[in-house]
Amino acid sequence: MDVKAVRDEFPILHQEVNGHPLVYLDSSATSQKPIKVIEKLDEYYRGYNSNVHRGVHTLGTKATDEYEGAREKVRRFINASSTQEVIFTRGTTTAINTVAASYGRANLSEGDEVVITPMEHHSNIIPWQQIVKETGATLKYLPLQSDGTILLDDVKKTVTSKTKIVAIMHVSNVLGTINPVKEIAQIAHNHGAVMLVDGAQSAPHMKIDVQDLDADFYAFSGHKMCGPTGIGVLYGKKALLEKMEPVEFGGEMIDFVNLYDSTWKELPWKFEGGTPIIAGAVGLGAAIDFLTDIGLDEIKQHEEKLASYAMQEMNKVDGMTIYGPEHRAGLVTFNLSDVHPHDLATVLDAEGIAVRAGHHCAQPLMRWLEVSATARASFYLYNTEQEIDKLVAGLKTTKEYFGDVF
């Protein structure tokens, strides 16, 4: 992969921040957008902005073709067997909430269990907290190993015939742990449970095959994979989705509306109430083309190299604590001595380096790590080893700056 050529595709990267060239190390929060995606949004709004699935006019047809074309791109991207299994949502959060509110509400009752992990993002915790409260079911947590990984033996012990849903993140946004979701799905299925995979941190960074994973539901966001904000995907197996009730009602999702009763459109539209996120979906389609042209395997390899280089160099800094396992996705979460992550991020920002500081929407995991906050550097296809060198230099500066305090 030619990183320089890749960087040329991202206009935002070529700017100075606080007098230094921008070093953007916060792609796990949101990725930057290539020119092709920006141009596609422009093309849509200038050329054929129109509502979809109604009207006979030319622009409406073009918009519908592009919108449904994007759905086909997503289908191929995750290897779903049909576009009926690809639902456009606002993002991962909405996708998981849809499963909890629809599948969860219909299939959970007292005595049933939902199994998740303490490393989940809030978006894969709270929807389950809410739905178990409503249905009388119980929320159970898998234990974590000290390096932040899950043992399959623990999954076998925790998942039982009472388990109805297992919901686990594919890749941790804090620890970088790559969870064995395929093996976990198999255990879930052995007990008659369904498996939801939170793919927010995996879909942007590795080849996903939902059929191979045998995930019943797989959720991800467009904005973390070079696409626009406000668009995401819920994949679900057709047999399950067909039995599920919609959670949003209104225009677009209906078949026949009577005064006191209505029927729904067929999949996937019954889950897409209201005017859909047309520009977002079209932009996501362009992002998928962009990533696929480069190759997800190449991207993964590049990020793994960056992560291992970052670990090696960051570990040389005095007072460095890195969280998570050795083998990891492209991100490093850390603390530097007693310097609070906010203070650290402010000093790095003064050097043009953007990192995340805080709890990363994973408060239970922060408590498990026994910290109130951490800093995180996350990498994507456009990051370089030179940028990691700048980060390490910035960390040394931070230590110097706060050196006399601690």
Partner 1 sequence: MSFNNLDTLYRQVIMDHYKNPRNRGSIEGNPMTVDMNNPTCGDRIQLQLLVDDGIVKDAKFDGEGCSISLSSASMMTQAIKGKPVDEALKMSELFSDLMQGKDIDEGDIDLGDIEALQGVSKFPARIKCATLAWKAMEKGVDVEKED
Kindly list the catalytic residues: 361
Are 362 and 323 contacting, i.e. CB atoms less than 8 angstroms apart?
Answer: no
Q: What is the DSSP string of 40-55?
A: HHHHIIIII---SSS-
Kindly state the smallest distance separating residue 89's Cβ from partner 1, in Å: 23
Q: Which is nearer to partner 1, 154 or 349 (CB)?
A: 349
Name the minimum Å distance from CB 173 to partner 1: 15
- Residue 260 or 406: the one with the smaller Cβ distance to partner 1 is 406
* Nearest-angstrom CA–CA distance, 30 and 226: 8
CB of 350 to partner 1, least distance (A): 4
Nearer to partner 1, 35 or 350 (CB): 350
Q: What is the DSSP letter of 141?
A: E
Shortest spacing between CB 35 and partner 1, in angstroms: 28
- Please check whether residue 344 is in contact with residue 312, taking contact to mean a CB–CB distance below 8 angstroms: no
Task: Decide whether 18 or 292 has the Cβ nearer to partner 1.
Answer: 18
Identify which of residues 306 and 365 has a Cβ nearer to partner 1 in the complex.
Answer: 365
C-alpha 77/C-alpha 226 separation (Å) is 14
Q: Which residues face 320 on adjacent strands?
A: 336
Q: Shortest approach of partner 1 to residue 132 CB, angstroms?
A: 22
Site of tokens 């894969």: 124
Query: What are the C-alpha distances in Å from 146 to residues 140, 192, 294?
Result: 19, 30, 36
- The token duo for 279 is 């520009």
Put residue 226 in one of left, alpha, beta given phi > 0 → left and psi -120 to 50 → alpha: left
For the CB of residue 386, give the shortest distance to partner 1 in the complex, in Å: 20
Cα atoms found within 13 Å of the Cα of residue 303, Cβ hemisphere only = 27
Report the alpha-carbon distance of residue 282 to residue 280 in Å, rounded. Answer: 5
Backbone angles phi, psi at 324, to 5 degrees: 105, 175
Instruction: Give me the least distance between CB of 111 and partner 1, in Å please.
Output: 33
Q: How many alpha carbons fall within 13 Å on the CB side of residue 335?
A: 14
Distance CA 144, CA 370 (A): 14
Q: Which CB, 35 or 393, lies closer to partner 1?
A: 393
Question: Do 278 and 68 form a contact (C-beta atoms < 8 A)?
Answer: no
Give the DSSP letter of residue 339: B
Task: Considering the complex, state which of residue 153 and residue 404 has its C-beta at the smaller distance from partner 1.
Answer: 404
Taking the complex as a whole, the smallest distance from the CB of residue 193 to partner 1 amounts, in Å, to 32
What residues are paired with 65 via a beta bridge?
Answer: none
Instruction: Identify which of residues 248 and 343 has a Cβ nearer to partner 1 in the complex.
Output: 343
Strand 232-236 with 217-221, pairing = antiparallel
Asked if 172 contacts 119 with a C-beta cutoff of 8 angstroms, the reply is: yes
Task: Give the contacts of 279 (CB within 8 A, at least 6 positions apart).
Answer: 41, 44, 45, 49, 228
Q: Which spans of this chain sit near partner 1 (rule: CB under 8 A)?
A: 18-19, 340-343, 346-347, 349-351, 357-359, 363, 366, 372-373, 401, 405-406
Please name every residue paired with 114 in a beta bridge, in sequence order, or none if there are none. Answer: 139, 165
